[in-house]
């Protein structure tokens, strides 16, 4: 992001430019926020050749004619020259003029009302080398984009004003092609009929109409031509979501409890946002605002609700907001689900009985609650609130009573209480019993490895505070043994390092270092076990279930060194039994995979050596046949992939020495 900022500032610093620059990004991804918080202030604080720059920002959203753009520029420039207005803005920390205020000022000028009686400083008014124009929402204007770009070109080519255009080119392209589609279709049909091409059978009717529309009304080409003339550089905006999300949270600074909770769970917000598959920060902003209502109501009516439930509510509010507001599903998908029990029943039935009617619910659950274990995952009152904007108090109370009955902390195992609620909520009478229960669970290996690590940090804290009478060496011995037992039934933790960072662990403490080392070793063993099972499950589909193999391989193996966890001889046995066509397809997939992800796939290098050797040994001295030639090509492809991996290995080793 800093590189992008610096590239834009380099454009502003250039002595002479006869081109504009474009910032391209998806709707709602924070482009305007980026301008306001990363670019505008830096530009206005620059001094070049003794002059400070003035930025003039204009949203083109809803603009219906070019005169409106001129009017906006006039209002911005004349207001900035008004000393009293500038003084007022500075003293009140006002960084922009509200639209309604601009309208009032414009009317005041129209009726001859002046703010300070000063004459216009024409030298300042005609100056162009200290102005920076920013046109936002190009694709949302109601004026032909070709006309707008031609208009902007006057400032750029003739006046050499630094100009930045912010837009979503993807939507712009769609708009250019889809405008007046009915009229275009009618004219294209008329022209085809006149040329006696309408009823010919050389092409499908739809394709002929589309081709004619493109030939006659190809505004996309006009756009590209004027863009080539006007735009010198196009920068792709890839937002730093964590930075922007932290900016969104500032609005809740006055709500002490809420802001503390949100900041503690920034990682959940970011991960849920990413899982939504969109970059629309506007929806996230509305979702966080909805959660504020949820959080305030829960804290007011049910102040002892445990932290895990509140975290789940946060995930659910964001997830449902994106699913509904981003147009990914219809609102009806959740309407008939009345409570958490029904939701879980649908998820279970879709998994156990392969009920494809509930495919969406299963995918929703897999996506948003992946690696987040919780019994209560659906909140009807939140779903209703997001969908209808009505906070249903009756449903809210019903949901909360169900939660209390489902998640009774007194009935939870001690280690879950430590993990799901603040320890100070445990009474002094209960605390020794909870500690005793936790240690018993640790000794029996009943706790997942990553949770054991978290609990260990609690215990070191409790020892430091004098809350428990154990020494660190004793606790270490108990936890190390417990981790060994737990690893037999634990799952691999994919985001372990991220979770370790959140624990603020001091790795310089010898005892902590010992626990961390053991955890990482065991977690890596679980990773190997998981991938070996995955490899067996994928490769066993060769040669009888090739469609399933291709589907699983494409989805799960393109960025995983799966051959590291596979037996080369068994793989060859399966591949050699496949059809020649399938061997060719597998070869092409492996080449494409290596070209895209050689660095990630490097750990499988040794097994690919072995696989190639097995293939070479098999075809050695055999008479040519289609199968043998196909396997020879396969072996050659493996050699190319091995060579690519070796080059990547050399690069990696060189980078380590620098």
* Cβ(469)–Cβ(477) below 8 Å: no
Instruction: Collapse the DSSP code of 167 into the 3-class scheme (helix H, G, I; strand E, B; otherwise coil) and give the result.
Output: strand
d(CA 471, CA 459): 10
Residue 280 banded pLDDT, cuts 50, 70, 90 = confident
Joined together, the tokens standing for residue 543 give 């040669």
CA-CA-CA-CA dihedral for 346, 352, 353, 355, to nearest 10: 40
* Mean predicted confidence (pLDDT) in 155-163: 84
Mean pLDDT along residues 282-292: 91
Helices 359-368, 307-325: axis angle to 10 degrees equals 130
Q: Is 428 helix (H, G, I), strand (E, B) or coil?
A: coil
Q: pLDDT value at position 509?
A: 79
260-278 pLDDT tens trace: 999 889 889 988 988 888 7
Mean pLDDT, the chain, whole residue set: 81
- How many CA atoms does the CB half-sphere of 131 hold within 13 Å? 20
pLDDT at residue 59 is higher than 70: yes
**pLDDT recorded at residue 18:** 84
Supply 391's token pair: 């906070």
407 confidence band (pLDDT: 50, 70, 90): low
235 forms bridges with which residues in the sheet?
A: 23
- Are 63 and 143 in contact by the 8 Å Cβ rule? The answer is yes
- The answer to whether 262 and 269 have CB atoms below 8 angstroms apart is yes
Residues above pLDDT 90, as percent of the chain: 34
Q: How confident is the model at residue 78 (pLDDT cuts 50, 70, 90)?
A: low
Mean pLDDT of 468-473: 88
Q: How many Cα neighbours within 13 Å face the side chain of 70?
A: 5
pLDDT for residue 291: 95
Identify the residue with better confidence: 23 or 174: 23
Q: Place 113 in a pLDDT band, splitting at 50, 70 and 90.
A: very low
CATH number among 3.40.1130, 1.25.40, 3.10.350, 3.40.50, domain 2-175:
3.40.50
561 or 356: which carries more pLDDT confidence? 561
Give residue 97's pLDDT.
Answer: 55
* pLDDT for 516 beyond 80: yes
Neighbours of 370 (CB within 10 A): 11
Q: In the predicted model, is pLDDT for residue 329 greater than 60? A: no
Task: Kindly tell me if the per-residue pLDDT of 594 is higher than 80.
Answer: yes
Among 20-29, 98-107, 155-164, 233-242, which is the least confidently predicted range?
A: 98-107
Buried/exposed code over 1-17 (b: 16+ C-beta within 10 A; e: otherwise): eeebeeebeebbeeeeb
Q: Which residues of 445-470 are buried (b: 16+ CB within 10 A; e: fewer)?
A: bbbbbbbbbbbbbbbbebbeeeebee
State phi, psi for 452 to the nearest 5 degrees: -60, -40
Q: What are phi and psi of 609, to 5 degrees?
A: -55, -50
* Residue 54 to residue 572: CA distance in whole angstroms: 68
**Cβ–Cβ under 8 Å, residues 173 and 201:** no
Which of 222, 230, 226, 229 is CA-nearest to residue 164?
Answer: 230
Q: How confident is the model at residue 480 (pLDDT cuts 50, 70, 90)?
A: very high
Distance CA 643, CA 608 (A): 11
Rounded Cα distance, 293 and 285, in Å: 13
pLDDT tier at 15 (50, 70, 90 boundaries)?
confident
pTM assigned to the model: 0.44
Q: Does 127 have pLDDT greater than 70?
A: no
Q: Is 445 left (phi over 0), alpha (psi -120 to 50) or beta?
A: left
| H-state helical runs in 26-168 | 31-34, 40-44, 66-81, 83-91, 99-110, 122-126, 145-153
- The reported pLDDT for the residue numbered 642 is 94
Residues pairing with 164 in the sheet: 21, 134
Q: Which of 73-77, 272-276, 303-307, 362-366 is least confident? A: 73-77
Task: For residues 73 and 69, give the distance between their C-alpha atoms in angstroms, rounded to a whole number.
Answer: 6
Other beta carbons within 10 angstroms of residue 55's beta carbon come to 21
pLDDT at 475 exceeding the cut of 60: yes
pLDDT, one tens digit per residue, over 186-226 is 566 756 766 777 777 677 777 776 666 566 555 556 667 77
Asked if the model's pLDDT at residue 346 lies above 70, the reply is: yes
**Candidate from 241-255, 310-324, 353-367, 627-641 with smallest mean pLDDT:** 353-367
Give the percent of the chain with pLDDT over 70: 79
């Amino acid at each position: 992001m800093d590189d992008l900022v610096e590239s834009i500032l380099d454009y502003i610093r250039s002595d002479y430019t006869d081109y504009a620059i474009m910032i391209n990004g998806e709707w709602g991804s924070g482009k305007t926020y980026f301008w306001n918080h990363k670019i505008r202030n830096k530009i206005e604080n620059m001094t070049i050749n003794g002059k400070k720059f003035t930025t003039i920002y204009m949203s083109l959203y809803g603009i219906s004619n070019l005169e409106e753009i001129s009017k906006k520029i006039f209002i911005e420039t004349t207001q900035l020259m008004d000393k009293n207005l500038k003084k007022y803005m500075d003293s009140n920390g006002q960084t922009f003029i509200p639209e309604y205020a601009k309208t009032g000022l414009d009317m005041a000028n129209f009726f001859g009302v002046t703010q300070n009686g000063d004459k216009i400083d024409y030298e300042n008014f005609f100056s162009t080398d200290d102005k920076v124009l920013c046109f936002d929402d190009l694709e949302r204007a109601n004026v032909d984009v070709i006309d707008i770009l031609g208009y902007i070109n006057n400032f750029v080519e003739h006046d050499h004003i630094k100009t930045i255009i912010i837009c979503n080119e993807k939507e712009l392209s769609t708009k250019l092609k889809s405008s007046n589609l009915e009229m275009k279709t009618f004219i294209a049909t008329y022209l085809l009929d006149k040329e006696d091409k309408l009823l010919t059978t050389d092409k499908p009717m739809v394709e002929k109409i589309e081709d004619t529309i493109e030939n006659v009304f190809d505004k996309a080409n006009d756009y590209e031509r004027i863009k080539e003339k006007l735009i010198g550089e196009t920068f792709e905006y890839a937002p730093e979501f964590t930075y922007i999300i932290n900016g969104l949270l500032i609005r809740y600074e006055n709500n002490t409890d809420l802001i503390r909770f949100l900041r503690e769970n920034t990682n959940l917000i970011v991960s849920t946002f990413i899982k939504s598959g969109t970059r629309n920060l506007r929806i996230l902003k509305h979702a966080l605002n909805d959660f504020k209502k949820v959080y305030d109501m829960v804290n007011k009516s049910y102040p002892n609700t445990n932290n895990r439930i509140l975290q789940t509510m946060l995930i659910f509010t964001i997830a449902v907001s994106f699913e509904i507001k981003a147009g990914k599903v219809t609102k009806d998908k959740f309407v008939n689900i009345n409570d958490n029990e029904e939701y879980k029943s649908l998820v279970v039935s879709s998994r156990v009985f392969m009920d494809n009617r509930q495919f969406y619910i299963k995918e929703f659950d897999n996506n948003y609650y992946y690696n987040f274990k919780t019994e209560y995952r659906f909140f009807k009152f939140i779903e209703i609130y997001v969908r209808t904007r009505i906070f249903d108090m009756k449903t809210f109370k019903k949901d909360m009573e169900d939660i209390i009955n489902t998640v009774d902390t007194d009935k939870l195992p001690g280690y879950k209480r430590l993990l799901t609620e603040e320890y100070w909520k445990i009474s002094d009478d209960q605390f020794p019993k909870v500690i005793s229960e936790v240690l018993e669970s640790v000794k029996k290996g009943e706790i997942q490895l990553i949770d054991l690590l978290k609990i260990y940090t609690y215990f070191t804290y409790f020892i430091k505070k004098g809350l428990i009478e154990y020494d660190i060496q004793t606790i270490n011995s108990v936890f190390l043994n417990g981790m060994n037992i737990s690893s037999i039934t634990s799952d691999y933790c994919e985001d372990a390092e991220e979770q370790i960072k959140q624990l603020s662990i001091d790795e310089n403490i010898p005892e902590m270092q010992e626990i961390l080392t053991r955890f990482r070793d065991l977690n890596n063993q679980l990773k190997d076990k998981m991938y070996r099972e995955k490899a067996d499950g994928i490769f066993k589909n060769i040669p009888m279930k090739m469609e399933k193999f291709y589907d699983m391989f494409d989805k799960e193996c393109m960025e995983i060194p799966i051959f590291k966890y596979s037996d080369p001889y068994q793989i060859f046995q399966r591949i050699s039994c496949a059809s020649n066509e399938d061997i060719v397809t597998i070869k092409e997939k492996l080449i494409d995979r290596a070209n895209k992800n050689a660095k990630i796939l490097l750990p499988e290098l040794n097994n690919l050596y072995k696989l190639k050797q097995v293939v070479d040994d098999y075809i050695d001295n055999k008479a040519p046949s289609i199968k043998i030639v196909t396997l020879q090509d396969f072996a050659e492809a493996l050699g190319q992939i091995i060579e690519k991996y070796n080059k990547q290995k050399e690069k990696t080793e060189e980078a380590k020495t620098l």
